[in-house]
Amino acid sequence: MANFEVHPDIAEAKTISTDFYLDPRHFKDSKEKIFGHTWHFAGNTDQVKESGWATPVHLLEDFLNEPLLLSKDKEGNLHCMPNVCTHRGNLIVEKPCKVNDLRCKYHGRRFNLNGKFLSMPEFKEVKNFPSDADDLVNLPVHQWGKLLFTSLSKKFSADVFFKEMNDRMSWMPLSEFVFRPELSKDYLIDAHWALYCENYLEGFHIPFVHAGLNAAIDYGNYSVELYRYSSLQIGIGKEDGINFDLPKSSPDYGKKVAAYYFWVFPNMMFNFYPWGLSVNIIHPIAIKKTRVSFLTFVWDESKMRQGAGGDLHKVEMEDEEIVQNVQRGIRSRFYTHGRYSVTREMGTHHFHRLIAEFMG
């Protein structure tokens, strides 16, 4: 078994072994060791706007591919549950719908919108029935504004992943942000999911790869903050650029912030711009295939297509070219490890340390 240990001192550390990106065993193991215990984007409250709504969700389709459902019960409580009947495993909800209860169309088993078993035809003779095993499991739910998150495990509380981002951006009225599907897009990349993440986690490449973005930010004042299971990169804008009008309640009040780039382990990116929020979800598909979902939530449309968040498609194309070339390069027999810039690659070092921790 590979040893993915990464030295805690970035000045001494080497990058994680290329085995992590190249060996199919590690890709398979990461499903449970990393993704099976962390938090994931599940959808938004517009999908379950009113009591009685139930919406299917395929969590990380083509990887975890866990069938879940979001529901809002008659008391207005949100639930996230397996979308799988406890009788014979049939999918319960096939498309968004408004219902009084959940009914499996295979044999008619019914559940309350909170997952509690209600009834089942032809089961009078069954002993010790119903039991708790006949209810749908309620998974933990974290709501932030309109955004909903869940975890397949109860190992970690949502706070240890999201608190710093929630606190830092608490002044933004996230409940007013509007999801714009026509401005959202998926990208397919021929590279390992972690290579895409580690590229995101450092601004070191910006002057070399992103000429347009580099013109919008002050690279010399680009900063990184590390938290337990997340990190933040702050892009300081040019004096005459499109920057946030920060309130006094913000710890960054007085700074010309053009963008906040929050990353939450292992695969979520929250990019705040003066116009709103671009959520990027990184979906592993295969060891050399990744889907990146850009989800656009607009706050102030008048500031779109300007500043650091002005042309996200162009930045994405530039990142894809680099990441796909790295995927080709790490196959070389002459490359197994690199070193980190102490001043510029703290986020990537932090990411590699978390991978090593979860992979054991």
The reply to whether omega before 130 is within 30° of 0 (cis) is yes
Contact indicator for 358, 31 with CB cutoff of 8 Å: no
168 inside domain: no
Domain presence at residue 30: no
pLDDT tens for the chain, residues 1 to 360: 467 899 999 999 999 999 999 999 999 999 999 999 999 999 999 999 999 999 999 999 999 999 999 999 999 999 999 999 999 999 999 999 999 999 999 999 999 999 999 999 999 999 999 999 999 999 999 999 999 999 999 999 999 999 999 999 999 999 999 999 999 999 999 999 999 999 999 988 888 888 888 888 888 889 999 999 999 999 999 887 899 999 999 999 999 999 999 999 999 999 999 999 999 999 999 999 999 999 999 999 999 888 888 889 999 999 999 999 999 999 999 999 999 999 999 999 999 999 999 998
In a shared domain, residues 308 and 187: yes
How many other C-beta atoms lie within 10 A of the C-beta of residue 330? 19
Residue 298 sits in the same domain as residue 194 = yes
- Give a yes or no: residue 165 inside a domain: no
Q: Are residues 320 and 209 in the same domain?
A: yes
The domain tally of the chain equals 2
Query: DSSP 3-state assignment of 182?
Result: helix
Q: Which domain holds residue 104?
A: 39-155
Is residue 130 located within the same domain as residue 53? Answer: yes
Q: What is the DSSP letter of 314?
A: H
Is residue 109 domain-shared with residue 249, that is, in the same domain?
no
In angstroms, rounded to a whole number, what is the distance separating the alpha carbons of residues 181 and 294?
Answer: 10
Backbone φ, ψ for residue 327 (5° rounding): -55, -40
Which CATH number is 199's domain given? Answer: 3.90.380.10
Enter the tokens of residue 139. Answer: 């998974």
Residue 301 belongs to some domain of the structure: yes
CATH number at residue 46: 2.102.10.10
